[in-house]
């Protein structure tokens, strides 16, 4: 009799943690949209996943290296503390919300917001992003190698959003600036690590712009009209 294949998130996650008892590496194949896969993985572990995931993939990552070779649903990397999470595809809304550390890479488009309430870490979207990227952002950096949607940087307090393309509009308390030498050097470092698809020449990094907050206390000052 053929072995029963895991189909529920609980079964898949149980197999991941069982594998960790004897190895730091886990490979999951044929994922078909299950939610909450590879959540809360500790540092030193490596997880490779094939197939589309549902919501909250890689949430609460605590230092592991996690790769998804397909598309992810909503809230990928929610509240991650550290490590590296790479999605070789598109994601739904809510990428990296409440993020506190680590690196989250989307090698495709983010179909919604990203970095809402993030405190630290790096989100790299190697494609287009949706509306309200960086809403209430409190630190860290978001890099978008494409265009961004409406109200980019809405009420952001700290942090930086780098954009190669154009935001459809800026949110309250957000302003658009040219890059300085330190910004270009930071983007060059990230490009060497993760290779932005549209950047064939490092000189093109100077085409990025950055969105930063006008004030660190946007909800106490005068509302911009």
* Per-residue pLDDT reduced to its tens digit, 171-191: 999 999 999 999 999 999 999
Residue-wise pLDDT for 121-138, tens only, equals: 999 999 999 999 999 999
By the 10 Å C-beta count (0-12 exposed, 13-18 middle, 19+ buried), 10 is classed as: exposed
Q: What is the DSSP letter of 110?
A: B
State the total domains in the chain: 1
**Within a domain: residue 191?**
yes
**Within a domain: residue 65?**
yes
Please provide the size of the chain in residues: 225
Query: Rounded to whole angstroms, how far apart are CA atoms 148 and 144?
Result: 7
**Within a domain: residue 219?**
no
pLDDT range class, residue 202, cuts 50, 70, 90:
confident
- The boundaries of the domain holding residue 42 are 10-213
**Within a domain: residue 222?**
no
**Within a domain: residue 1?**
no
The answer to whether residues 73 and 53 touch, using CB atoms and an 8 Å cutoff, is yes
Q: What is the CATH number of the domain that holds 131?
A: 2.160.20.60
Query: Rounded to whole angstroms, how far apart are CA atoms 91 and 80?
Result: 16
This prediction has a pTM of: 0.92
**Within a domain: residue 35?**
yes
**Within a domain: residue 43?**
yes
Residues 6+ apart with CB under 8 A from 129: 109, 110, 113, 114, 144, 146, 147, 148, 149
**Within a domain: residue 160?**
yes
């Amino acid at each position: 009799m053929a072995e029963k294949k895991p189909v529920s998130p609980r079964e898949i996650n149980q197999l991941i943690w069982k594998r960790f008892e004897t190895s730091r590496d886990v490979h999951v194949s044929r994922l078909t949209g299950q939610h909450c896969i590879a959540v809360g993985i500790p540092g030193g572990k490596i997880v490779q996943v094939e197939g589309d995931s549902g919501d909250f993939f890689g949430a609460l990552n605590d230092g592991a290296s996690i790769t998804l070779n397909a598309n992810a649903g909503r809230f990928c990397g929610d509240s991650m503390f550290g490590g590296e999470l790479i999605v070789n595809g598109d994601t739904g809304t809510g990428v990296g919300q409440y993020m506190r550390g680590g690196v989250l890479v989307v090698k495709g488009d983010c179909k919604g917001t990203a970095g809402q309430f993030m405190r630290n870490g790096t989100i790299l979207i190697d494609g287009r992003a949706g509306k309200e990227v960086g809403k209430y952002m409190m630190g860290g950096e978001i890099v978008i190698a494409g265009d961004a949607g409406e109200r980019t940087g809405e009420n952001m307090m700290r942090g930086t959003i780098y954009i190669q393309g154009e935001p459809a509009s800026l949110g309250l308390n957000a302003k658009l600036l040219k890059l300085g030498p330190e910004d270009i050097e930071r983007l060059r470092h990230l490009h060497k690590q993760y290779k932005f698809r549209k950047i064939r020449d490092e000189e093109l990094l100077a085409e990025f712009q950055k969105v930063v907050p006008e004030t660190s206390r946007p909800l106490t000052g005068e509302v911009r009209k």
